[in-house]
């Protein structure tokens, strides 16, 4: 699956994994596990990206605020 939503990959992976167990297909079971891990990685990456954006925005705002204060003091 090529989507940006890790939850869908996790759900699809869980279904594949369970189906593989039921029909005794080790390959399908492993594909499901991999897809589930891929979904978890997507979610983690998305969270890290959001955290980095937030931290960068805070730093930029702090820098701008400091410059504004410096200008007012002059």
Q: What are the pLDDT digits (tens) for 15-42? A: 999 999 999 999 999 999 999 999 999 9
Asked if residues 31 and 20 have their Cβ atoms less than 8 Å apart, the reply is yes
Q: Is residue 1 part of a domain?
A: no
Structural domain boundaries, residue 37: 6-73
Supply the pTM of this predicted model.
Answer: 0.70
Kindly report the backbone phi and psi dihedral angles of residue 3, in degrees, each rounded to the nearest multiple of 5, phi listed first: -135, 165
Q: Is residue 55 part of a domain?
A: yes
User: How many structural domains does the chain have?
Assistant: 1
Q: Strands (DSSP E) along the chain, which ranges?
A: none
Kindly report the CA angle at 69 between 67 and 74, in degrees rounded to 5? 95
Say how far apart CA 28 and CA 40 lie, in whole Å: 18
Q: Is residue 30 part of a domain?
A: yes
| Best CA proximity match to 9, nearest among 44, 35, 41 | 35
């Amino acid at each position: 699956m090529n989507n940006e939503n890790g939850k869908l990959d996790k759900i699809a992976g869980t279904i594949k994994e369970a189906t593989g167990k039921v029909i005794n297909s080790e390959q399908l079971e492993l594909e499901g596990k991999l897809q589930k891990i891929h979904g978890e990685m997507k979610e983690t990456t998305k969270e890290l990206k959001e955290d980095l954006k937030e931290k960068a925005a805070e730093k930029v705002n702090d820098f701008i605020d400091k410059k504004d204060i410096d200008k007012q003091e002059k």
